[in-house]
């Protein structure tokens, strides 16, 4: 009985040693660097005003400046406000400026208007 158990443990032990040796010498499993490279990618970071969570706080003068001074990321031309909308995010009312460029690029700009700031131009 003891001989059968010892024989089984010996076979299992030899199989494990051969498997570890083959993995190390032949590169069967992923390397440490491959495992590090396969980590979950980080979520994208947004610039100020590009997402509701990064909305810009602006007064009346600053809001008017934001409407007229935004530049396109691809061609650097001034963008025009094609429309405005109000949305609710995180218990706040946000103004979303829909910006268009002559090259066809579009983007939204999220703004938290200060109290007393008119939301339309």
Residue-level pLDDT, tens digit, the chain, 121 residues:
899 999 999 999 999 999 888 877 877 777 788 888 878 777 788 888 899 999 999 998 999 998 989 999 889 999 999 999 999 998 999 999 999 999 999 999 999 988 665 555 4
Region for 44 from its dihedrals, namely left if φ exceeds 0, alpha if ψ lies in -120 to 50, beta otherwise: beta
pLDDT value of position 21:
87
Which residue from 64, 121, 71, 120 is spatially nearest to 100, judged by alpha carbons? 71
pLDDT value of position 118:
55
Task: Please give the model's pTM, rounded to 2 decimal places.
Answer: 0.60
State the residue for tokens 């939301």. 119
Q: What distance in Å separates the CA atoms of residue 23 and residue 104, rounded to the nearest whole number?
A: 53
- The helix or strand, by DSSP H or E, that contains position 92, with its residue range, turns out to be strand 92-100
């Amino acid at each position: 009985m003891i001989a059968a158990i010892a024989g089984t443990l010996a076979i299992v032990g030899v199989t494990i040693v051969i498997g570890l040796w083959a993995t190390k010498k032949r590169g069967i499993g992923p390397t440490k660097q491959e495992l590090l490279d396969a980590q979950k990618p980080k979520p994208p970071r947004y610039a100020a005003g590009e997402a509701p969570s990064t909305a810009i706080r602006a007064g009346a003068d600053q809001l008017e400046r934001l409407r007229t001074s935004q530049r396109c990321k691809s061609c650097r031309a001034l963008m025009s406000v094609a429309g405005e909308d109000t949305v609710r995010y995180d218990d706040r009312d946000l103004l979303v400026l829909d910006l268009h460029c002559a090259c066809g690029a579009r983007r939204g700009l999220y703004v938290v208007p200060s109290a007393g700031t008119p939301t339309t131009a």
